Amino acid sequence: MAEITYLQAINDAMREEMERDPSVFLLGEDVGHYGGAFKVTKGLLDKFGEERVIDTPISESAIAGAAIGAAITGMRPIAEMQFADFITVAFNQLVSNAATMHYRFGIPVPMVVRAPSGGRIHGGPFHSKNPEAWFAHQPGLKVVAPATVYDAKGLLKSAIRDNNPVIYFEHKYYYRRLKQEIDEDKEILVPLGQANIVKSGDDLTIITYGGTLHMCIEAAEQAEKEDGLDVQVMDLRTLAPLDKSAILESVRKTSRVVIVHEDDLTGGIGGEVAAIIAQEGFEYLDAPVRRVASIDTPTPYSPVLEQVYYPNVSDILNVVRETAAF
């Protein structure tokens, strides 16, 4: 067993898959000689060489297009967007080409796009975005958002092996802050499309993912200690496809649901989860489904305003209490 960071888990996953499969390679801005903007790809150039760790021009559209071309010819590219915010430049390549290629031509597109996302790092409006809902909306794309060290490694390895294009949202705030003991001798694979019950409970379910999971766990523990509430916490892990059966099973169990995510409220994943519950689990509800998310504005640069913009433990706890008391 060895304690590793969230960042190291991602690096280990790429290294292991590159060792296992010679068709796996990396491309992106500064992923080679510099080791990545956050040093996530550090050491991989030395191990695998310039043919498999490719520094690209500053052109997200070109990176995505090259990855698509490589994928349809039998390679398994891992393309890095230096910041998830700049994935918008590659939007047409991903939603119009990568996502539709198999539907149009029957050709698999086994590629992963790594997108360092999320805020609470004082990055302002151009380095803090959570754009996962845009891609979860597009048929043909799979979308994952790991919130633990174990899942960061296991989901990435599964994504690399998947024959569909996968957008992998890794949260920048977690890179060096999250640590976990991992058995380095055991292969870790987390199946795509399966949610995880992080904390079991009977009174209420918090459904979350990515940047807010650990806040939700803290809020659930506070609710138990201070209010006697037995709160269940579900980590979606995969946002497309959503694990409908796990969501509905939890609704049947607790009858109360609070959905939490770091992305903006309007048009977020939480709205889709709430719609699933309203359509297929309404009879089990004892209270309205509530959502906690970021404010519908660009991400502020000011640390003080940023604290107000993002949901926090207190926000989550207040909504949990209100929902439990309904």
Q: What is the pLDDT of residue 87?
A: 98
Q: What is the pLDDT of residue 79?
A: 98
312 — pLDDT class (breaks 50, 70, 90): very high
Virtual CA dihedral for 26, 151, 237, 284, nearest 10 degrees? Answer: 170
**Contact of 63 with 56, CB cutoff 8 Å:** yes
**Contact of 242 with 236, CB cutoff 8 Å:** yes
pLDDT, tens digit (0-9, with 9 covering 90-100), for 58-96: 999 999 999 999 999 999 999 999 999 999 999 999 999
Is 90 exceeded by the pLDDT of residue 128?
A: yes
Q: What is the pLDDT of residue 184?
A: 84
Which residues are bridge partners to 22 per DSSP? none
Q: What is the pLDDT of residue 243?
A: 98
pLDDT, tens digit (0-9, with 9 covering 90-100), for 139-187: 999 999 999 999 999 999 999 999 999 999 999 999 999 999 999 889 9
Residue located via tokens 């597009």: 138
Specify whether 127 is catalytic. yes
Beta strands (DSSP E) in 133-283 are 142-144, 166-171, 179-182, 196-199, 204-208, 231-235, 238-240, 257-264
Q: What is the pLDDT of residue 185?
A: 86
Domains of the chain: residue spans and CATH:
2-182 (3.40.50.970), 196-325 (3.40.50.920)
**Contact of 36 with 80, CB cutoff 8 Å:** yes
- Residue 288, preceding bond cis, omega within 30 degrees? no
What average pLDDT does the segment 115-132 reach?
96
Rounded Cα–Cα distance for residues 257 and 255 (Å):
7
Q: Residue 58's CB: how many other CB atoms inside 10 A? A: 11
Q: Using alpha carbons only, what angle is made at residue 112 by residues 13 and 137, rounded to the nearest 5 degrees? A: 130
What average pLDDT does the segment 188-212 reach?
98
- Catalytic residue of the set 102, 127, 137, 171: 127
Q: What is the pLDDT of residue 225?
A: 98
Please state, rounded to an integer, the average pLDDT across all residues of the chain. Answer: 97
What average pLDDT does the segment 288-312 reach?
96
Distances (CA, A) of 55 to 16, 219, 265: 20, 42, 36
- Which pTM was predicted? 0.97
What average pLDDT does the segment 227-254 reach?
98
